[in-house]
Structure 1
């Protein structure tokens, strides 16, 4: 099942995408797609209502698509999780997941404008598989328990300002939490429809030129391990988002470091999860 939110920022309508491409409102079932909806069987209710023909159809023509969930409680990120990405940036292959946090307010719609921060000279892109948590994950016994905690998957652009991230502080937060730095969506795709999360192609192009072309099978730490690992150190709550890392091809690792500039467009695709497209402009 594919869930989405449509409308102006702050006024999004929760919706479901039918197999035939039609869009149906979930307003009779929930005020929004949030942690409470996910934790209380909301996806199953939406699936049943869609199958029964009980949802009113929406005309999405010309309407903005927002992030597929309301602002998450937290965005947890895994750094250097593809061997080729670690190698291109000159970093050691990690023995344990590299964990950092991103301000949840960075989450915006998949085609919203992304702002290059004032003073930035090294704004970079990162296509990533995002995992949305649907059930509390706390001290999970093993990796097999992780599957029951996943509400679905989405595309995430973990936009990064490399000078802020790597040169201004021992922490990565400054370069990861600038406004609009986490486009998410267009859909939240449930696990049954997304398929194997370790067999998804990820692609990103800048101004039409291919920059990243990877596959989640090449993650150092897979989705199940990441969720299990994080649950040993923090409670993952319904609606939380995990960015699982990016493959090679970021500006930081490319010859000449072709960082993003005002007017650049970035397009991201993950198999089965849709497409994002953003224009970058100066803040």
Structure 2
């Protein structure tokens, strides 16, 4: 039996971890760290830095290479499913090698494991391949980091907020009946597909981290600034995590 803890670690700032997360890390026999390949080594490095900050005992770090997703196929959902199967198989081999007699393993998850993250789904696939017991430790979300750095409430008084992706915003436009949108997983600056009139935007990259960048204002004035800042930051760091809130002024 392997006890697998999925530990929310916030947006990369070691101080984002909860006391529960730190206790769980130190109770693990191993922390497994995925490597995403050239140009994204900083992501594994951030996980290592978090471990160096908080681990105080004999917990070992075990790294593995994450399978790459084929993004060229016509069926997005099928491609993701195939990719997740490959990741589950890699997890299985990594955990069997690291803990041949069983034990406790921790996996550090950006933000919170329940919000636009597939780690729990992959763990479900893993449970069909080997005997595991899973627990989930919540973490600070990118949404919380975004609203904190801009010092704004997420919602208008008594009003709903829709959380969506850049792909859906491009394909479907602004959802009817919604005054506020949080957009995640957007590598294409999909706010450019909207009529900017009457829309405000609050954007942040690397929210809560030392290299944090934030911009806000009317979309008509700010969109080009965000596109330029995002491109420059991605080129400099080799990777980027960003998120934004859109709100209609009349909402």
State the TM-score bracket (shorter-chain normalisation): under 0.3
Q: Which one has the bigger strand percentage? A: 1
| TM-score, length of structure 2 as denominator length | 0.26
| TM-score, length of structure 1 as denominator length | 0.24
